[in-house]
Amino acid sequence: LILVSSISAKCALNEEFRECGTACPANCDQMGPIPCTRQCVRGCFCKKGYVLNRKGGVCVRDTECKRKWIIFGFCLFD
C-alpha cells in the first residue's frame, strides 16, 4: 500500500507555492540582500518581479515600492 499525499496550497494574487522558499522574503522596506538563515520554508511566496509591500503584507510589483532616499549634506571648505 502506497499513500500519496498532495498538498494544494491556495496562494493569494501574485503569489506561488514553493516547497523550499526563503525564511526572509524581500519587502519594500528591505529590497537589498537581507541577512538570513539558510533554510527551506514551505508556503506561498511572491512571484518573480514582485515583493511584499511590507513585512507580512501582500505582493506588489517591485516598481510600486516607494523609493526611500537618504540625503547627506556636506560642506566644502577652502
Residue 59's DSSP bridge partners are: 52
Q: State pLDDT tens for residues 4-35.
A: 344 456 999 999 999 999 999 999 988 777 78
Q: What are phi and psi of 41, to 5 degrees?
A: -120, 125
For position 75, what pLDDT does the model report? 56
Check: CB of residue 13 under 8 Å from CB of residue 45. Answer: no
When the pLDDT of each residue in the chain is averaged and rounded to a whole number, the result is: 81
Q: Distance (Å, rounded) from C-alpha 26 to C-alpha 38? A: 15
Instruction: Supply the pTM of this predicted model.
Output: 0.69
For position 32, what pLDDT does the model report? 74
Q: Distance (Å, rounded) from C-alpha 13 to C-alpha 47? A: 9
